[in-house]
Amino acid sequence: MTSFAEKFLLVFCTSLGVVIGASLIGSLATIITGNPPIKTMLKVASDIRIWAIAAGIGGTFTTLEILQTGLFEGHFTVVIKQLLYLVAAFFGAQVGYSIIVAVVGGK
């Protein structure tokens, strides 16, 4: 079983990696077709953030089930942990987007 800190960092890094990886690899298509990749990198980074959050938390259904169980059965520490994992995923996706924006020189 992993500790809270390990899982928190894993969720953050997964979301960060999804945004950065998708932006870099996705922009290869525009390079192959002879177009400039900067606009594509920004668009992909912006569009993929919600999916990066879902990937970071390990899918949405598991999180929703845990939240439901925690709320209706009174396990509030579980709910707080899941909410903190969501924050980590949001933060990771946003940091990834910010890195892409910085790499391409702004919006």
List, for residues 16-75, the tens digit of each pLDDT value: 999 999 999 999 989 898 888 898 899 999 999 999 988 888 876 677 777 777 777 777
Tokens 């992909």 -> residue? 44
Q: Is the pLDDT of residue 1 over 60?
A: no
d(C-alpha 107, C-alpha 80), whole Å: 35
d(C-alpha 106, C-alpha 60), whole Å: 31
Q: Please tell me the predicted confidence (pLDDT) of residue 105.
A: 85
Tokens 């569009």 -> residue? 47
Q: Is the pLDDT of residue 87 over 90?
A: yes
Say what the pTM is: 0.83
Sign of CA dihedral 69, 73, 77, 80: positive
